[in-house]
A and B are shown apart, each in its own frame.
Chain A
C-alpha cells in the first residue's frame, strides 16, 4: 500500500513538472512576438518593458528562464508561495488575485459536489432497483433534462423564479460566509443547485448503469444465496463494486471545475477563478491566465492522486497492481 501511494505520488510530481514545462513553453517560447510585451499589459512604457524583461529573465537563455519560472512556482517569489508573478495590467500579484477568488470557486464546487453526488447516486440506485418501472422512467427523464439543459438558461430561469418572482433566495453576487453565513447560503443555494443538476444527471445515469452491470455478477448471486436481505445485497455488495467509475469521474469533475465553472460563476456573478480566467483572457492579462492555468492543472493532478489512493481503499486488487 505504501509503495503504491509512493508510486502514485512520484507520478503526480512528474505530471506537475510536465504541466509547468508545457505552460512555460506556451507562454514564453511560442514565436508570437516579444513575451515581455505580452506580459506587460496594454501599451507599456519602454521602462516597464525593460523591467519586465529583466524580471522574467527574458534577457537570459530559455533554460534559465525556465529554471526561474519553476523555482518561483515551487519555492515562491517576492509575493509569497506559490510564486505566480505580477500582473502589470492589474497592478497586483497574481497570487493575491488567485487566492482572493479561489475560496468562492472552491465553496461553489464543494456545495454542488455534495449535492450532485448524493442526489445523483441516490437516483441512480433507485432507478437501477426499479428498472423499467415508472420511477426509473421519471428518473431517467430527469437525467435527460439535466444533461441537455444549458447551464446559463437554467441559471437565469432559477434566478427569475426563485429570486425575482418568489423572492426565496438572494440574487446574484457573493457574500463571504465569514461576513454572513445566511447571506452566503442564500446567495449560493441557486448556483449550487444549477451546477449540481447537470452533474447529478450524469451521475444518476452512470450509477444506474454501473449498478445494473454489477447486479448481474456472480458474487451478487452468492450474496443472495447466503440469505442476505435485498437491501444489503444492493447497497453493500452492489454499490461498493459500482463505486469505482463514480469515484474516477468525481475526482476529474471536481478538479476540472476549479477553473471551469465559468458559466455558473458568470450567470450568478460569483467572480471566482473561472470568471477571473475568462476576464483576464479577454483583457490579454497573460500573467493571470498563466496563474489560473497552473493552479487548475495542479488541482487536476492532485485530484487524480486522491482518486488513485481512494481506488486502493475501494478495490484491494489495485493495491497490488
Chain B
C-alpha cells in the first residue's frame, strides 16, 4: 500500500449554492479536505448537512444552470470544477466512481445487470460488446455474486438488495478508478448485509489501492472503516481529523451529540441522548456558529462569530468551535470514565 506525497483528491473551499424562489440555499460552505491513496475518509452528518451535495459537485452531477459552485477540486493536481462538461464526463466513472444510497433505485429496472455493467465498460473505451460483457461477468464474480455468468443476465428486480449494491460496486470498479465515492452505501440494506458491503468496500480499497470517500450518518460505519473523519453540519465542517483521534477525543459539541445519540454495546439504551432541536434552514442559517441554537455549551461569541476551522492546540485535530481547549478535553475524559464504569 502506497501513500503518495501528492494527495489524490484535494478539495479547497468548496461552496455550493442553489438559488430558489424562496432564497439561496447554502448547501455547502467552505468545505476543504484531502484524500490520499489507500485512505478512507468518512463524511458524517445528519440529512441535509451537505454531505451528498458536496460529492455530487465533485462529480459534476449538479445541474450547472441551477447551481452556483465555487472553490477548487484538484484531482491529481487537475482542477475539476473548471472543466467543460465533456471532459468531466470522461473522468466520471473512469477515474472517480460513485455508488449510491439506494441500490433498489440506482439500477435501471429495464436493462439486465450485465448490460448495465457492460455499458459502463463501453462508456470509456470501445472494446467490443463481447469483451465488455465478459468484463461485466468477471467484475460481478469479483464482488461476490455467485454464478455470475448466469446472474449477469438477470434484471435488477431479480437481485436482492445486497446483490444490487454489490453490482453497483462492480459497476464503479469497471475502470479501476482512483477514487470511489460511496454515498450512504449501506443505509438501505439489512444490518447483516451492511457489514458485508462495508467489508467489500474496504477490500476493494486495499486491493486497488484507491481513495474512498464514505458518506454516512452512521458513526458506527465510520468507526469501523475510516482512516479520517469529517463531521459536517449545515453545509460546514465542524470537525476534521484522523478517525482514531476524533473518536477518542472528539472536540466539537456536535460530534459529542452524535456520539451520545449512538447506541453501543457498552451503553445501555436509556443512556442515549438525542440532540435537541432539528437541523437549521439552509436558506437562513443561524448567525455565527450554525450549531449554536442546539448547542448546550453555547456562550457569548457563538451567535456572533462563525468559528474558524483550526486546530485549537498543535497536537489536536481541526474543529470549528469557540469553546476553550480545556472544555473540549472534558468530553473525552468523561467518556472514558463512563466507559470504564459501564464495563465494571
- Chain A interface residues (CB < 8 Å from chain B): 217-219, 221-230, 237, 240-241, 314-317, 320
Contact = CB atoms under 8 A, between A and B. Distances in A.
Contact of A229 (B61, B89, B91, B106): B89
Contacts of A229: 89
With most chain B CB atoms within 10 A of its CB, the pick from A218, A219, A228, A320 is: A219
Contacts of B105: 217-219
A56 B70 CA distance: 83
B92 A225 contact: yes
B77 to A, nearest CB: 20
A130 to B, nearest CB: 11
B120 interface: yes
28 contacts: A217-B105, A218-B105, A219-B108, A222-B107, A223-B108, A224-B61, A225-B59, A225-B61, A225-B98, A226-B92, A226-B93, A226-B119, A226-B120, A226-B123, A226-B171, A227-B91, A227-B92, A227-B93, A227-B120, A228-B93, A228-B119, A229-B89, A240-B110, A240-B111, A241-B108, A241-B110, A316-B109, A316-B157
B93 A219 contact: no
B94 interface: yes
A241 B108 CA distance: 8
B90 interface: yes
B100 interface: yes
Contact of A218 (B92, B93, B100, B157): B100
B124 interface: yes
Interface of B: 59, 61, 85, 89-94, 97-98, 100, 102, 105-111, 119-120, 123-124, 155, 157, 168, 171, 174
A316 B155 contact: yes
Contacts of A314: 110
B109 A221 contact: no
Q: Which of B98, B107, B110 counts the most chain A CB atoms within 10 A? A: B110
Contacts of B107: 219, 222
Contacts of A223: 108
Nearest to A244: B110
B109 to A, nearest CB: 6
Most buried by B among A224, A225, A315, A316: A225
B124 A315 contact: no
Main secondary structure of the interface of A (DSSP, over half): helix
A237 B108 CA distance: 7
Contact of B109 (A227, A230, A241, A320): A241
A119 B174 CA distance: 38
B106 A219 contact: yes
A228 to B, nearest CB: 5
Given A222-B100, A222-B168, A228 B123 contact: yes
Contacts of B59: 225
B97 to A, nearest CB: 7
B110 A224 contact: no
Given A222-B171, A240-B108, A241-B108, 4 more contacts: A219-B107, A225-B61, A225-B97, A226-B171
Contact of A227 (B108, B110, B124): B124
A305 to B, nearest CB: 21
A92 B43 CA distance: 82
A230 B61 CA distance: 11
Contacts of B94: 227
A227 B92 CA distance: 5
B151 to A, nearest CB: 14
Contact of A221 (B91, B100, B124, B157): B100
A219 to B, nearest CB: 4
Contacts of A316: 109-110, 155, 157
Contacts of A225: 59, 61, 92-93, 97-98, 100
Nearest to B59: A225
Nearest to B89: A227
Contacts of A218: 100, 102, 105-106
A282 B168 CA distance: 64
A182 B96 CA distance: 58
Nearest to A241: B110
Contacts of B100: 218, 221-222, 225
Contacts of A217: 105
A144 B234 CA distance: 43
Contacts of A320: 157
Nearest to B90: A227
A110 B63 CA distance: 40
A121 B208 CA distance: 44
Contact of B155 (A219, A228, A240, A317): A317
A218 B171 CA distance: 15
A18 to B, nearest CB: 33
Q: Which 10 A-B pairs have the closest CB atoms?
A: A227-B93, A218-B105, A227-B92, A226-B93, A219-B108, A226-B120, A316-B155, A225-B98, A218-B106, A227-B123
